[in-house]
């Protein structure tokens, strides 16, 4: 130890006795030397964050895996009944439940519709923002920003009101439009949220696109700013159409951004909870569940709640997302994110 301290440039060469704080400084220097000698600094800096992540994110994940192979429920929490390992029983009963397949279908179909819709809408608005004049671009991007800023719960309650059969503006508008345009359905007092899963998911899809396209738009816009304007101008002078310019120049240059946006969108749309919770009026309509609602129902709303069953669903859910995440991580690493 003493040897190390001698090598410290910061340590005072001669001690000045009697100065307050001297002792603290010296022990501080000794601690510093210890940290340096064993190269502990990065670990000390990392420790608080790592502890938080480990305790709140990683350990619960391990627990969920354990629960999924147990009969864990209220009785086991209170100790009234023993916790037992049940093998794959939770998984087999989940796979045997038609509700599970229904909720998986709803989740996948929503993502299949919403992901391309969000990406296309966001890209169109991003391209538009890039070509509009300064004031007009500020106006459009402010509008988009406000939709983006709206908290999901606020947005969901708001859309529920927009499509409400009792005074909602959407039904009123549709009922005033000519039949050749909107079909012969009696739109006055049409119930979007309880008629069926399809109607409810139309509302959820519009809601999610409304909230998510601004992020795509600003990301695409940020990417477009890095594309040299001369390149696009030259292509246009040569007579290329906007469509061609986009696919031959813009898209190849922005491909990495599009790939990340695609993966993020898929993950976000698989995770939708707040919006579907409100629009489907949880726990009202089981045929309108997505995976998140199905999981939440099994774990908390069913009587008795089954944490084991919920854990099994959570694990299946997490595995599906893991596959997507691996794609995301590989993309990020390939783009040099780890350097």
Partner 1 sequence: MSMPSSGLSAVPAVAAITRDGRGSRDTAQDARRARTMRGARGASLNAFGILIALLTLFPLFWMVSTAFKPSHEIYSLTPSLLPAHPTLGNFRSVISGQVSGIGSVWLFFRNSLAVTLATVLVASLLSLLASVAVARFRFRFRASFLVMLLIVQMIPAQALIIALFIDFERLDLLQNLLGLIIVYAAQALPVSIWMLRNFVATIPRELEEAAAIDGASGVKIFWRILFPLVMPGLVATSIFSFITAYNEFIVALTFLGQAHSTYTLPIYVTYFFGRGGAEWGPIMAASTMYTIPVVIFFLIVRRRLVGGLTAGAVKG
Cβ-based nearer residue to partner 1, 10 or 81: 10
φ and ψ of 170, to 5 deg: -65, -50
Structure tokens at 131: 């070509």
Site map 237..256 versus partner 1, x via CB under 8 A: -------------------x
Place of tokens 């009026």: 281
* Helices (runs of H) and strands (runs of E) counted in the chain: 18, 0
What residues from 49 to 108 belong to the interface with partner 1 (CB under 8 A)? 49-50, 52-53, 55-61, 63-64, 67, 77
Place of tokens 């007009």: 136
Residue 65's nearest CA partner among 326, 317, 314, 335 is 314
Does 174 sit near partner 1 (CB under 8 A)? no
- Minimal distance in Å, beta carbon 128 to partner 1? 6
Does 16 sit near partner 1 (CB under 8 A)? no
Structure tokens at 220: 């695409």
User: What stretches of the chain adopt beta strand conformation (E)?
Assistant: none
Contacts of 335 (CB under 8 A, 6+ apart): 256
Cβ-based nearer residue to partner 1, 165 or 196: 165
Structure tokens at 184: 């012969």
Does 161 sit near partner 1 (CB under 8 A)? yes
Does 43 sit near partner 1 (CB under 8 A)? yes
- Minimal distance in Å, beta carbon 179 to partner 1? 20
Which DSSP string do the residues of 174-190 spell out, in sequence order? Answer: HHHS-HHHH-S---TT-
Does 292 sit near partner 1 (CB under 8 A)? yes
- Minimal distance in Å, beta carbon 145 to partner 1? 5
Q: Are 246 and 127 in contact (CB under 8 A)?
A: yes
15-23, 82-90, 192-200, 296-304 -> range binding partner 1 (CB under 8 A): 296-304
Residue 287's nearest CA partner among 99, 93, 110 is 99
Q: How far is CA 18 from the centre of its chain?
A: 59
14-22, 46-54, 102-110, 177-185 -> range binding partner 1 (CB under 8 A): 46-54
- Report d(CA 119, CA 269) in Å as an integer: 12
Binding-site member from 75, 158, 177, 182 for partner 1 (CB under 8 A)? 158
Cβ-based nearer residue to partner 1, 69 or 214: 214
15-23, 82-90, 91-99, 138-146 -> range binding partner 1 (CB under 8 A): 138-146
Does 301 sit near partner 1 (CB under 8 A)? no
Residue 259's nearest CA partner among 332, 321, 210, 193 is 332
Binding-site member from 225, 239, 243, 303 for partner 1 (CB under 8 A)? 225
Binding-site member from 15, 34, 46, 95 for partner 1 (CB under 8 A)? 46
Residue 285's nearest CA partner among 105, 152, 102, 97 is 102
13-21, 94-102, 167-175, 196-204 -> range binding partner 1 (CB under 8 A): 167-175
Does 202 sit near partner 1 (CB under 8 A)? no
Number of residues that bind partner 1 (CB under 8 A): 110
Site map 303..332 versus partner 1, x via CB under 8 A: ----x--xx--xx-xx--xx-xx--xx--x
Expressed in angstroms, the distance from the first to the final Cα of the chain is: 35
- Minimal distance in Å, beta carbon 41 to partner 1? 6
Does 230 sit near partner 1 (CB under 8 A)? yes
Q: Are 313 and 100 in contact (CB under 8 A)?
A: yes
14-22, 97-105, 111-119, 270-278 -> range binding partner 1 (CB under 8 A): 270-278
């Amino acid at each position: 130890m003493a040897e190390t301290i001698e090598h410290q440039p910061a340590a005072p060469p001669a001690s000045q006795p009697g100065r307050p704080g001297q002792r603290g400084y010296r022990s501080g220097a000794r601690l510093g030397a210890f940290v340096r000698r064993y190269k502990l600094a990065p670990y000390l800096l990392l420790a608080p964050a790592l502890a938080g992540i480990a305790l709140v994110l990683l350990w619960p994940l391990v627990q969920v895996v354990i629960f999924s192979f147990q009969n864990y429920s209220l009785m086991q929490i209170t100790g009234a009944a023993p916790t037992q390992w049940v093998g794959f029983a939770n998984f087999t009963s989940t796979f045997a439940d038609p509700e599970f397949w229904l909720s998986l279908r709803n989740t996948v179909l929503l993502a299949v519709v919403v992901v391309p819709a969000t990406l296309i809408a966001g890209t169109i608005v991003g391209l538009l923002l890039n070509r509009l004049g300064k004031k007009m671009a500020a106006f459009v991007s402010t509008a988009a920003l406000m939709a983006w800023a709206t908290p999901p719960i606020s947005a969901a309650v708001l859309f529920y009101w927009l499509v409400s059969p009792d005074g909602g503006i959407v039904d009123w508008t549709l009922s005033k439009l000519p039949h050749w345009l909107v079909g012969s359905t009696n739109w006055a007092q049409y119930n979007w949220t309880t008629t069926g899963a399809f109607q409810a998911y139309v509302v959820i899809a519009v809601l999610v696109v409304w909230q998510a396209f601004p992020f795509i738009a600003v990301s695409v816009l940020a990417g477009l700013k890095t594309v040299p304007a001369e390149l696009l101008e030259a292509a246009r002078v040569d007579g290329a159409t906007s469509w061609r310019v986009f696919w031959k120049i813009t898209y190849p240059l922005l491909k990495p951004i599009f790939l990340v946006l695609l993966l993020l969108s898929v993950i976000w749309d698989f995770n939708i909870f707040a919006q579907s919770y409100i629009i489907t009026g949880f726990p009202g309509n089981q045929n309108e569940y997505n995976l998140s609602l199905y999981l939440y129902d099994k774990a908390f709303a069913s009587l008795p709640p089954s944490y084991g069953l919920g854990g099994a669903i959570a694990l299946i859910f997490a595995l599906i997302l893991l596959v997507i995440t691996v794609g995301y991580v590989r993309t990020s690493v390939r783009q040099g994110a780890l350097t």
